[in-house]
Amino acid sequence: MTDSRTFILLAGMTALFLVVGQALGGHNGMMLALLMAVALNFFAYWNSDKMVLRMHNAYEVGPEQAPEYYAIVQELARRAGLPMPRVYIMDDSSPNAFATGRDPEHAAVAATTGLLRILNREELAGVMAHELAHVQNRDILISTITATFAGAITTLANMAQWAAIFGMGRSNDGEGNNGGGLGGVLMMLLAPIAAMLIQMAVSRSREFGADQRGAQICGNPLWLASALDKLDSGSQRLPMRSAHEHPASSHLFIVNPLSGSSLAGLFSTHPPMEERIHLLQQMARRA
């Protein structure tokens, strides 16, 4: 199931590249976009996790640098039957976390200093269990590749904007994009929206599944529910700097890192927090 979802995602992102390339430069532009898409497919599979970690200035830590954090991840990985992931910290006061990697054998989890500061041990276990659930459910490859492609599509859309401004809508073979400028403007508007729609489709369903499995891994749904309440409040007060610089990766995080932005509600990549907390509370009552 995960392999087919990854294939569909890569095919969809490649199609978007071709559309933008056609708008930018006709047949030649489409062929250039195809070459870029092939190269990006290869790069995204092998290196997208490293790229995302660099985007957010995450640095790896061990038991010496972060003993409690590392020990919690180690214990939860053992409970879930997963290999020990690499453990990272991001220097940011906004409380948040994400997981990345192409498979459980090459996974990493990252938490901000803000998260480590405001959560108690049980709440931290709930959050890390949620991230390990993404690893176990094999969401992380799809999510990380989406972040890489969405960022690249936005870059192509910006190129379309410049092509529209300078009248570069026609290629040497005489093919165009319905008047050059109009096609460029349409791509400037539609390509980022299309990328965001793909992010939303990937993200919303996977968050509920990771909440449920994470609650099972840590052993108490209320630990995660309490953490989500704190993280939601904290992220709204302190939007994450690196997420605003790289919004295409916002769907990776456990809570929306763009909550302080006026556009966050329009293109929300996360389910409503009240619904997530309510479902976890229901799990606790049934236990």
20-78, pLDDT tens digit by residue?
677 666 777 778 777 777 777 677 667 778 888 999 999 999 999 999 999 999 999 99
pLDDT of residue 287: 76
pLDDT at 189 over 70: no
Structure tokens at 232: 């939601």
pLDDT of residue 10: 67
pLDDT of residue 54: 92
pLDDT of residue 140: 78
pLDDT of residue 225: 98
Split at pLDDT 50, 70, 90, the class of 266 is very low
The arithmetic mean of pLDDT across residues 143-168, rounded, is 64
Residue 256: phi, psi to the nearest 5? Answer: -60, 115
pLDDT of residue 177: 47
The arithmetic mean of pLDDT across residues 156-178, rounded, is 55
Structure tokens at 188: 């400037």
**How many domains does one find in the chain?**
1
Among candidate residues 75, 131, 175, 274, the one labeled active-site is: 131
More confident residue, 94 or 186: 94
Pairing outcome for strands 86-90 and 58-61: antiparallel
pLDDT at 261 over 60: no
Q: In the chain, what are the helix, strand and coil shares in percent, each to the nearest 5?
A: 70, 5, 25
* Neighbour-count burial of 237, counting CB atoms closer than 10 A to its CB (0-12 exposed, 13-18 middle, 19+ buried): exposed
Provide the residue range defining the domain that includes 76.
Answer: 2-286
89 with 128: CB under 8 angstroms? no
More confident residue, 249 or 97: 97
Q: Which of 40-44, 197-201, 236-240 has the highest mean pLDDT?
A: 236-240
pLDDT at 134 over 80: yes
Average confidence score pLDDT of the chain: 80
131 part of the active site: yes
In this prediction the pTM is 0.76
pLDDT of residue 184: 57
Report the percentage of the chain scoring pLDDT > 70. Answer: 67
pLDDT of residue 186: 57
Residue 163 and residue 179: Cα distance in Å, rounded? Answer: 11
pLDDT of residue 233: 92
84-104 pLDDT, tens digit per residue, is 999 999 999 999 999 998 889
pLDDT at 264 over 60: no
pLDDT at 183 over 80: no
